[in-house]
Amino acid sequence: MPALLILIPLLAILALNLPWKSLMNRLAFWVGLALCLVQTGLALQPQSRFWHSPSLWLGNLLLFEPSVDHLSLVMFLAIGIVGAVTLFVCRYSTACAGNRFMVINVLILALTGMNGVVLANDLFSLYVFLEITAVASYILIAFEKGRDAFEGAFKYLILSAVATVMILAALALLMLTAGDLSFAAIQAAIASSPHSRVVLAAIALLMVGLFIKGGLVPFHGWLPDAYSAAPAAASVLLAGIVTKTTGIYTLIRLVTSVIGYNDTLQTLLLFVGAASMLIGALAALGQSDFKRMLAYSSISQVGYMVLGLGAGTVLGMVGAIFHLFNHAIFKSLLFVNAAAVEQQSGTRDMNRMGGLAEKMPVTGWTSVVAFLSTAGIPPLAGFWSKLIIIVALWEAGYTTYAALAVLASLLTLAYFLSMQRRVFFGKLAAGFESLKEGNLWILVPACVLALITIGIGVGIPWLFETFMLPIRSLL
Amino acid sequence: MTSPLLFVALLMLLLLAGVWTVMTLNLLKSAIGLAITSVLLTLLLFLLDAPLAGVFELSVCAGLITVVFISAISLTKPLTGPEASERDRSRVKRFFFLPILIAGAAWVLYALGLRLDSPLPPAIAEMDVRQVLWNVRRLDLVGQILIILAGVFGVVILFKDRSDKKEAPKS
């Protein structure tokens, strides 16, 4: 029945656009939230019949019965949580009910697109759902129609189009070789002719396309503009889950289930991962715009995931997927905090802020939890995933890359300490005397995400046993 | 059998039309350039024995999309002479690398020596397009519905305020 994760949201969008406009305007938020929470609840029960029993009538309708593994479940969980948080942020930051209704529709479309990406077991279907997610993202970025928003959306559109061309070209080459685009057929074709130039060219195009989608160095140019110019809700969605699903999850899925590891691919992944990790962290150090700094931080954290994947071992892959999930939580939390600060203070310039935690204590302290987790401070969630990645690199003999990962973690600590000092702590900056904490629509998701971050850190044995260890079956 | 020279000539024309579409300053000429590119691609598709793909390319890309573009362009205001010449200069500077990039990509493809003329497996080659769409790729049709919905919401969201502003009385 997992195909319902595509069909039900589609039906929900159609139902929301029935003629009873005022009723639908009121219902849209709750329908979106229900979809996200049901998905989250189901993902937390790996043994549920929903994931394993076929749906006969739906199977006939879609001719699609995907098989779901633990990697898919982790992604559904992250998509559900970040989707729900995005809806809360949208409710908080979009005052006009009509605009909010439209944004929620596009959000549900983006979530459906990401569900499709996770469920796809065929490269062409994967491409179709990547495009659905991308089109919804362009709209969400440009939604406020400011100059910066259009520039951010345009850069994302152009670079995403370049990625699309590359992925499509790769699909054409693989179709020539395998005669089919299902993961199984392509895996067999690659295994039977691993040194074919056509296959190698296709893999190279696919990799570069996914590096662009994931915002990895040197293809990261679009990401800081898109993240910082997007409205608050879109920033949370993009940074929390969109680029992780379209770029990193797809990369992990294709490397583990289709392409397979080889020395060249591992070297490429390790190099790109390390470059992203270090360049992202160094660039974040020099930023004064709150959201732009978080965007560069995302590039750096994505570098860790790719580095873990590049280790080529079960532990490395588990670390990469665990960090992807953790990043979805703590980076969403940081963007939720940024949304609260921007909405309440009217600025994102960190040089103009200071001491805001005095007036916005919940925002201030939840941001401390998020930054400590991002920097890999024990016992928070980020510590465990970074530790697993570093141990995996060390065990695989990539000691230099392991040392670089530790160094990047120190850089992360440095730029987040600088952010905390400039924004939340120290003396209250002039002009912010009458500043108030945001309302419950922004505080509830911030507290929930902070609790998840702490909970994962404390409950690591259960999480590792239930979700992470079963992932080893992928390799 | 079609002469390879015809393919080369059509490909060269296709590239020229594509570069002209990007480089030209006039939006109308750009839209026409895109239509010409699509027509040339249609010819190639017909020559490569893919008539259905050719028909789609001709009707949708060369026909429908050109009409939509020209309708949208007719609503815009053209640049004045000095503005246009300034834009012209900056555009040439911005895209001077494009022909070099194309030549470089062509050289890389040539150097790789890819053999792309292998025939498709018979099971794929003999499939009817209706069968492929409805019996093999039905999930992608659902995806297509989702993309169309995203496009509709995009148009409504991104153009809504503009029409509101247009209707508002001037102060």
Q: Does B154 touch chain A (CB under 8 A)?
A: yes
CB contacts of A129 in chain B (<8 Å) are 143
Query: Where in the sequence is the domain holding B147, given as residue range(s)?
Result: 119-171
DSSP, res A65? -
CB contacts of A109 in chain B (<8 Å) are 146, 149-150, 153
Q: Exposed, middle or buried, B138 (CB in 10 Å: 0-12/13-18/19+)?
A: middle
pLDDT at A36: 94
CB contacts of B121 in chain A (<8 Å) are 179-180
The mean pLDDT of chain B is 79
Q: Cβ of A10 and B145 within 8 Å?
A: yes
Angle of CA points A300, A305, A309, to nearest 5°? 140
Is residue A238 within 8 A of residue A227, CB to CB? The reply is: yes
* Side-chain half-sphere exposure of A352, counting CA atoms within 13 A: 11
The pLDDT-based confidence of B120 (bands split at 50, 70, 90) is low
- For residue A23, the distance in angstroms to the closest alpha carbon of chain B comes to 19
Task: Round to whole Å and give the CA distance between A241 and A236.
Answer: 8
- Is the domain of B154 the same as that of B107? no
Is residue A209 within 8 A of residue A180, CB to CB? The reply is: no
Helix spans in A259-359 (H)? 263-285, 290-310, 314-345, 356-359
Hey, where are the domains in chain A?
261-475
pLDDT at B125: 60
Q: Cβ of B146 and A179 within 8 Å?
A: no
Q: Exposed, middle or buried, B155 (CB in 10 Å: 0-12/13-18/19+)?
A: exposed
Q: Does B5 touch chain A (CB under 8 A)?
A: no
Minimal-distance CA residue of chain A relative to B156: A102
CB contacts of B156 in chain A (<8 Å) are 102
Q: Cβ of A201 and B116 within 8 Å?
A: no
Q: Does B137 touch chain A (CB under 8 A)?
A: yes
- For residue A317, the distance in angstroms to the closest alpha carbon of chain B comes to 29
Domain count, chain B: 2
Q: Does B140 touch chain A (CB under 8 A)?
A: yes
Q: Does B95 touch chain A (CB under 8 A)?
A: no
Structure tokens at A199: 């296959």
CB contacts of B124 in chain A (<8 Å) are 175, 179-180
Helix spans in B26-96 (H)? 27-47, 51-56, 65-73, 81-95
Helix (H, G, I), strand (E, B) or coil at A182: strand
Minimal-distance CA residue of chain A relative to B158: A143
CB contacts of B116 in chain A (<8 Å) are 173, 176, 198
- Is the domain of B123 the same as that of B96? no
- Is the domain of B57 the same as that of B15? yes
| E strand or H helix at A116 | helix A97-119
CB-nearest partner of B140 from A3, A125, A197: A125
Task: Round to whole Å and give the CA distance between B154 and A138.
Answer: 9
Structure tokens at A119: 């469920």
Task: Round to whole Å and give the CA distance between A352 and A209.
Answer: 38
Helix spans in A182-289 (H)? 183-192, 197-214, 222-229, 232-237, 243, 250-254, 263-285
DSSP, res A167? H
Phi, psi of A396 (to 5 degrees): -80, 0
Amino acid of residue A428: L
CB-nearest partner of B150 from A63, A136, A201: A136
Q: Cβ of B140 and A124 within 8 Å?
A: yes
pLDDT at A56: 64
- For residue A191, the distance in angstroms to the closest alpha carbon of chain B comes to 18
Measured between alpha carbons, how far is residue A75 from residues A72, A214, A277, A391 in Å?
A: 5, 15, 22, 23
Range B127-138 average pLDDT: 75
pLDDT at B166: 46
Q: Does B168 touch chain A (CB under 8 A)?
A: no
A211-230: buried (b, 16+ CB within 10 Å) or exposed (e) per residue?
bbbbbbbebbebbbbbbbbb
Category of A260 on φ-ψ map: left (φ > 0), alpha (ψ -120 to 50) or beta: left
The pLDDT-based confidence of B155 (bands split at 50, 70, 90) is confident
pLDDT tens digits, B66-97: 888 888 888 777 777 777 777 767 766 777 77
For residue B37, what is the domain's CATH number?
1.20.120.1200
Centre a 10 Å sphere on the Cβ of residue A417 and count the other Cβ atoms it contains.
13
CB contacts of A142 in chain B (<8 Å) are 158
Helix (H, G, I), strand (E, B) or coil at B91: helix
Phi, psi of A348 (to 5 degrees): -115, 0
Minimal-distance CA residue of chain B relative to A98: B157
Longest dimension (CA), chain B: 70
DSSP, res A360? -
The pLDDT-based confidence of B170 (bands split at 50, 70, 90) is very low
Instruction: Kindly tell me the sign of the dihedral angle through the C-alpha atoms of A373, A377, A379, A383.
Output: positive
- Is the domain of B59 the same as that of B29? yes
**Complex ipTM:** 0.84
Phi, psi of A425 (to 5 degrees): -115, 180
Angle of CA points B79, B83, B89, to nearest 5°? 115
pLDDT at B169: 44
Q: Cβ of B140 and A128 within 8 Å?
A: yes
Structure tokens at A124: 């062409």
- Is the domain of B101 the same as that of B141? no
pLDDT per residue rounded down to tens, chain A (475 residues): 888 888 899 999 999 888 877 888 888 899 999 999 999 999 988 888 888 877 666 666 766 777 788 889 999 999 999 999 999 999 888 877 778 888 899 999 999 999 999 998 889 999 999 999 999 999 999 888 888 888 888 888 988 999 999 999 999 888 888 888 888 888 888 888 878 888 888 999 999 999 998 889 888 888 888 888 888 888 999 888 998 898 899 999 999 888 888 888 899 999 999 999 999 999 998 888 888 999 999 999 999 999 999 998 888 998 999 999 999 999 999 999 999 988 888 888 888 888 888 888 899 899 999 989 888 888 888 899 999 999 999 999 999 999 999 999 999 999 889 888 888 888 888 887 888 888 888 899 999 999 999 998 888 877 777 777 777 666 5
